[in-house]
């Protein structure tokens, strides 16, 4: 009965309100008064009736009320009336009803609610009241709070049903509220920060302030929910507006350089930071203008909630840089200390009355409890030593620190380039092991924060910082020992100091940390840190200390049984990275030499890096550890090859033991099938062992790459001689240059390499060459690509035949492409040996094997096959004259070999750029020595002087024309490397003494890269040559081809073109071709600028040593000769002003 009465009163009130407002309010009664008399006067009964009414009816009536009040609000604002009570009662009524009734939601109704609530907020905190004086009035905050809670209930009930448009409307509403509240927020925060009063205390005096924090907390929470559900659909303007609001709030924190703390504030900070996190993870635009502001504010959170904590004990360090090896306790001493048994968090509640003995070890994460504190609120997110610091406020503040650090990581990933400018703010430049309350950094969080998740977040952020463009900008880092604290420091010096502190802190933690997940992150940080650090610009002892510290950690092991193997593998992987740094450091080499002198590897009495790696590589029961140790040994062989002769016995024994176990004691099928233990790792371990053997053989043999047979004429041109550089071949060990001692060691190594190769062929190869694993066979065949000519010659005939037959059989008969590719590479290396190149029989077999693989469907095989083909052609070029002139019937064997090579290379010029460049190189080598039998070789005009019985004679008159057409096609379609090889190929073609090229029509297209000695030698194409060269030089810098593989050849190409252009211009005055001279007048401006650049380059040459300065004088002579020729041309065309400019340039170079 009571419910029906309430329902009747509801319907009567709203029907009356509708009738009165639609027909006009009675005289003397305003709409505001009607609402008060009919609705608010009976609010309690209406609220109780709402649950008994149909939802659609409640929804309709409430929406009508909101629209009516919104109109009243608009009229009151125009007249300047105060309707605070009406708006307050409206928000309370709607809030109470929606707590009882499920709202009938649709797009239009949601818009009505947002518009109505937004007008209320505008009245309370916008144009409705003056803002000159801001007071903590709770009556303003409560209605807004109820509006937000109503919207939050609607969004939670209809979660997932909002369209992107409705979500955007909600975002705009929330941003409007935050903008309106911003003056109050600034006033409140500044008053708390200035008075150093806690939020709880302020809330008791001014309840409105507590409501204000709650308003902001709900608003940012709802913003976060909206971005979480539909953030990907938001346009740029919404994202940007949100960033601006977040930035304003964060700037308030940064302006005070202090954070107000308290439980209420912790909830607010968490909502704010979570919202920032979601907005940053999906950036719609640039953050470069905001990075510094956000970082300044987020850094304040590093010590949030820690001010009342006991001071964390810091390690004892001196004023100098902390020793990375010796601290308050050495690794050996720490083993002897008493240790307390570990109690996992879920068992600590049972041990409340047990008092464990206090450990003496000073590790960061100790495994003991220090008091009988109630651990019922224990959270596994804390470190093992967090017990005495836990509590509700502590947990909240700890989560705030984590949220802030995560936002820093988001910033770094969203705009890594801008974030690099914040390194000096977020990372320490001194005393990393001393916790400082007012100078907190990411490293201090990682080292001293008692909350494990905060330390994990710090580690993840450091990984993000070093995993981006930092690897590039850190190369300018340079450590300088002496600097005055507080004075200006160059960026390079600051980065050097930061890198030193990072090394100290990370290595210190690795030595002492016990938590497995954090240790994994620390090893990842150290791996990236090693790869980013320019050790050649850092203290020489830094890298040896890192290596020694890692060796000690590997020797100590890890007590965590769940991931002991993984952590040990990670530690060795870091050791591999340290040993792989380039350039190799003499200090590390000295460390190895000391190990050799003390005999630590043989005696194992005094552990060393190599002895530790050898021991780990023998742990076949732990394939992951064994694999990582082998990787480290390979890095030592590659970076420090001169020491490997002393360790050959150990390498040979370990490799033999591994391959023997895989073929005899443990069948290969078992290794493949046992997933999780030996399985796939077994195959990887065998392959890694063979690669160690390969690298060690290369180091001992003195392998430095393919033995190129260079043409001495390349060194005669001044402009090309200064671009000839020592090639860094990745497969060759890194030998040090210039030291007489090293030279003697290399000579000794080359002499002794035959013994090691003989042992390998006899002992290891029979076990692995026919292995069932393709990966193992590939690594085995690759070993043959590392042998040197001197070692090969010193081997017995049986060993030489074994190597040749092995690579040929692999190239022809193995079904796996990777094995065939490795065999082709080995053929390409061995074919350059003088003994091989003079054997037509062996070369014939090599050519057959290579030709077969040039037709392989896989590009990777065709690349190595084409490379081998070019090397074989290069060998033929140097030895073809020594081939015997065989009588009939075999007199055509060698010429057929040349024809076969030519046909194969021509076919490959139609392949991809990597293959095309090798094919052009092969054709260029052939073009140097091919000879023709007929006097009408090309177009009936080519005179030949070849002996028809010479091995290099070609009977087909179309060979040369096809070569040239291939060159023309490649120079227009290939990348810079292809063009560079075409340049050399045409140079070889013009050096062919049996060809007379001055009347050939096809020279017009290729003359830009040719250098005949006179105008007559160019025939009718001299003008085309000059114009082609000028066009290439003018447009070379604007080439759209930006493939990285082309960059390293561009400089060499420019040098060659410069030399050719100067030579051609020096002949221009001898030509009587008037159109050419007109062209030179037309291009006078470009030629003047081009010569200015050349002349300016001569200034650098003048400062070089005398031996290099000789080339500088030759350059001057070539430039001067070309300019004097142009002066004659311009004077002959009555262009005296232009000629005067070139005369001045000519006079200035001497």
Tokens 């047990």 locate to: 354
Query: What is the residue-averaged pLDDT of the chain?
Result: 77
pLDDT tier, 312 (very low <50, low <70, confident <90, very high otherwise): very low
Give me the mean pLDDT over the 464-471 stretch: 84
Distance CA 454, CA 743 (A): 53
pLDDT computed for residue 377 by the predictor: 34
pLDDT computed for residue 1074 by the predictor: 87
Residue 470 and residue 426 in contact, taking contact as beta carbons nearer than 8 Å = no
Q: Which bin fits 257, alpha (ψ -120 to 50), beta or left (φ > 0)?
A: left
For residue 329, pLDDT beyond 90: no
> How confident is the model over 606-631, as pLDDT tens digits?
678 999 999 999 888 889 999 999 99
Higher per-residue confidence, 1012 vs 473: 473
> How many C-beta atoms lie closer than 10 Å to residue 857's C-beta?
7
Query: Which two structure tokens, joined as six digits, stand for 187?
Result: 């006033």
pLDDT computed for residue 214 by the predictor: 86
> How confident is the model over 338-363, as pLDDT tens digits?
444 444 443 344 443 433 333 333 33
For residue 389, pLDDT beyond 90: no
Residue 930 and residue 898 in contact, taking contact as beta carbons nearer than 8 Å = yes
Distance CA 403, CA 460 (A): 12
> How confident is the model over 247-275, as pLDDT tens digits?
999 999 998 888 888 888 899 999 999 99
pLDDT computed for residue 195 by the predictor: 64
Give me the mean pLDDT over the 911-916 stretch: 91
Q: 451 forms bridges with which residues in the sheet?
A: 382
Distance CA 558, CA 567 (A): 7
> How confident is the model over 986-1023, as pLDDT tens digits?
777 777 777 655 444 434 333 344 446 677 766 676 78
> How confident is the model over 643-682, as pLDDT tens digits?
999 889 999 999 999 988 876 544 443 333 333 333 444 7
Q: Where are the alpha helices (DSSP H) in 467-599?
A: 470-473, 491-512, 516-532, 542-556, 564-579, 586-598
pLDDT tier, 324 (very low <50, low <70, confident <90, very high otherwise): very low
pLDDT tier, 850 (very low <50, low <70, confident <90, very high otherwise): very high
**Angle, vertex CA 920, rays to CA 973 and CA 901, nearest 5:** 135
Highest mean pLDDT among 1-5, 86-90, 610-614, 1070-1074 belongs to 610-614
Give me the mean pLDDT over the 405-430 stretch: 92
Residue 574 and residue 554 in contact, taking contact as beta carbons nearer than 8 Å = no
Distance CA 997, CA 121 (A): 90
Q: pLDDT > 90: what percent of the chain?
A: 33
932 secondary structure, DSSP code? E
Give me the mean pLDDT over the 971-977 stretch: 81
pLDDT tier, 733 (very low <50, low <70, confident <90, very high otherwise): confident
Of 428-432, 496-500, 940-944, 945-949, give the lowest mean pLDDT range.
940-944
């Amino acid at each position: 009965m009571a419910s029906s009465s309430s329902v009747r009163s509801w319907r009567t009130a709203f029907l009356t309100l509708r009738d009165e407002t639609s027909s006009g309010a009675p005289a003397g009664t305003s709409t505001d008064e009607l609402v008060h008399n009919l609705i608010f006067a009976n609010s309690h009964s209406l609220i109780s009736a709402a649950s008994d009414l149909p939802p659609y009816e409640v929804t309709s009536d409430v929406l009508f009320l909101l629209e009516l009040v919104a109109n009243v609000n608009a009229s009151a604002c125009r007249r300047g009336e105060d309707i605070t009570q009406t708006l307050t009662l409206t928000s309370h009524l709607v809030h109470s009803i929606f707590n009882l009734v499920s709202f009938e939601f649709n797009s239009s109704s949601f818009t009505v609610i947002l518009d109505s609530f937004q007008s209320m907020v505008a009245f309370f905190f916008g144009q409705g009241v003056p803002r000159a004086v801001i007071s903590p009035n709770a009556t303003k905050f409560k209605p807004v709070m109820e509006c937000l809670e109503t919207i939050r209930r609607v969004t939670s009930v209809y979660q997932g049903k909002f369209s992107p448009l409705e979500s955007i409307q909600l975002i705009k509403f929330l941003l409007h509220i935050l903008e309106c509240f911003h003056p109050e927020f600034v006033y409140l925060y500044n008053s708390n920060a200035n008075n150093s009063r806690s939020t709880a205390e302020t809330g008791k005096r001014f309840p409105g302030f507590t409501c204000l924090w709650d308003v902001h907390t709900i608003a940012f929470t709802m913003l976060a929910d909206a971005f979480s559900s539909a953030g990907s659909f938001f346009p740029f303007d919404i994202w940007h507006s949100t960033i601006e609001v977040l930035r304003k709030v964060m700037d308030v924190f940064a302006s005070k350089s202090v954070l107000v703390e308290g439980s209420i504030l912790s909830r607010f900070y968490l909502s704010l930071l979570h919202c920032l996190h979601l907005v940053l993870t999906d950036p719609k635009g640039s953050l470069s203008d905001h990075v510094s502001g956000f970082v300044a504010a987020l850094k304040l959170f590093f010590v949030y909630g820690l001010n009342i904590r006991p001071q964390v004990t810091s390690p004892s360090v001196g004023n100098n840089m902390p020793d990375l090896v010796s601290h308050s306790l050495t690794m050996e001493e720490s083993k002897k200390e008493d240790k307390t048994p570990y109690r996992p968090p879920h068992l600590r509640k049972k041990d409340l009355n047990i008092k464990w003995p206090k450990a003496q070890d000073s590790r960061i994460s100790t495994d003991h409890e220090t008091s009988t504190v109630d651990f019922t609120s224990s959270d596994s997110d804390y470190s093992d030593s967090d017990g005495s610091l836990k509590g509700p406020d502590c947990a909240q503040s700890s989560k705030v620190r984590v949220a802030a650090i995560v936002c820093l990581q988001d910033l770094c990933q969203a705009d890594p380039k801008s974030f690099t400018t914040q390194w000096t703010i977020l990372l320490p430049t001194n005393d990393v092991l001393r916790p400082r309350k007012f100078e907190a950094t990411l490293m201090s969080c990682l080292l001293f924060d008692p909350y494990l998740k905060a330390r994990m977040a710090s580690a993840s952020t450091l990984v993000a910082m070093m995993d981006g463009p930092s690897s590039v900008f850190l190369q300018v880092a340079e450590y300088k020992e002496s600097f005055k604290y507080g004075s200006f420091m160059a960026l390079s010096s600051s980065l050097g100091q930061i890198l030193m502190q990072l090394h100290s802190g990370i290595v210190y933690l690795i030595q002492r940390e016990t938590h497995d997940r954090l240790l994994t992150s620390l090893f990842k940080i150290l791996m990236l840190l090693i790869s980013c650090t320019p050790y050649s610009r850092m203290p020489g002892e830094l890298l040896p200390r890192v290596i020694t510290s890692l060796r000690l950690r590997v020797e100590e092991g890890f007590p965590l049984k769940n991931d002991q193997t993984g952590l040990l593998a990670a530690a060795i992987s870091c050791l591999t990275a340290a040993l792989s740094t380039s350039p190799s450091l003499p200090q590390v080499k000295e460390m190895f030499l000391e190990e050799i002198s003390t005999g630590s590897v043989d005696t194992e009495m005094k552990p060393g890096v190599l002895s530790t790696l050898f021991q780990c590589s023998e742990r076949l029961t732990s394939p992951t550890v064994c694999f990582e140790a082998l990787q480290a040994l390979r890095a030592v062989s590659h970076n420090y090859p001169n020491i490997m002769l002393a360790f050959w016995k150990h390498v040979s024994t370990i490799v033999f033991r591994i391959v023997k176990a895989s073929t005899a004691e443990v069948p290969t099928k078992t290794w493949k099938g046992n997933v999780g233990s030996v399985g796939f790792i077994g195959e990887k371990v065998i392959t890694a062992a063979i690669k160690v053997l390969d690298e060690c053989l290369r180091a001992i043999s003195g392998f430095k790459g393919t033995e190129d047979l260079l043409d001495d004429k390349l060194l005669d041109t001044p402009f090309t001689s200064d671009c000839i550089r020592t090639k860094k071949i990745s497969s060759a060990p890194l030998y040090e240059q210039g030291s007489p001692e090293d030279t003697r060691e290399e000579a000794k190594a080359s002499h002794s390499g035959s013994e090691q190769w003989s042992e390998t062929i006899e002992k290891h190869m029979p076990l692995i060459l026919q292995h069932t694993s393709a990966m193992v066979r590939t690594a085995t065949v690759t070993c043959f690509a590392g042998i040197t000519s001197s070692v090969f010659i010193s081997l017995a005939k049986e060993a030489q035949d074994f190597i040749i037959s092995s690579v040929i059989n692999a190239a022809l008969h193995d079904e796996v492409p990777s094995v065939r590719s490795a065999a082709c590479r080995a053929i390409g290396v061995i074919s350059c040996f003088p003994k091989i190149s003079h054997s037509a029989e062996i070369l014939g077999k090599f050519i057959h094997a290579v030709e077969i693989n040039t037709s392989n469907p896989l590009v990777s095989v065709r690349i190595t096959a084409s490379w081998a083909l070019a090397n074989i052609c290069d060998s033929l070029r140097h030895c073809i004259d020594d081939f015997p002139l065989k009588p009939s019937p075999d007199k055509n064997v060698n010429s057929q070999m040349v024809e076969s090579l030519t046909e194969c290379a021509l076919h490959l010029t139609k392949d991809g750029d990597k293959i095309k460049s090798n094919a052009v190189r092969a054709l260029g080598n052939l073009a140097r020595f091919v000879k023709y039998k007929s006097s009408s070789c090309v177009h009936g005009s080519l005179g030949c002087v070849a002996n028809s019985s010479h091995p290099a004679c070609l009977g087909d008159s179309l060979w040369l024309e096809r070569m040239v057409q291939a060159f023309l096609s490649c120079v227009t379609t290939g990348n810079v490397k292809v063009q560079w090889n075409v340049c050399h190929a045409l140079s070889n073609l013009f050096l062919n003494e049996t060809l007379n090229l001055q009347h050939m029509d096809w020279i017009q297209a290729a003359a830009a890269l040719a250098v005949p000695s006179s105008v007559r030698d160019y025939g009718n194409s001299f003008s085309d040559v000059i114009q082609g060269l000028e066009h290439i030089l003018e447009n070379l810098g604007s080439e759209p081809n930006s493939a990285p593989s082309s960059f390293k050849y561009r400089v060499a190409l420019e040098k060659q073109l410069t030399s050719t252009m100067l030579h051609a211009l020096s002949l221009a005055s001898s030509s009587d071709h008037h159109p050419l001279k007109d062209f030179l007048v037309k291009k006078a401006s470009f030629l003047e600028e081009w010569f200015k650049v050349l002349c300016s380059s001569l200034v650098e040459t003048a400062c070089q040593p005398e031996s290099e300065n000789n080339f500088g004088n030759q350059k001057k002579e070539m430039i001067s000769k070309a300019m004097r020729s142009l002066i004659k041309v311009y004077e002959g065309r009555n262009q005296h002003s232009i000629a005067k400019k070139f005369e001045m340039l000519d006079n200035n170079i001497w």
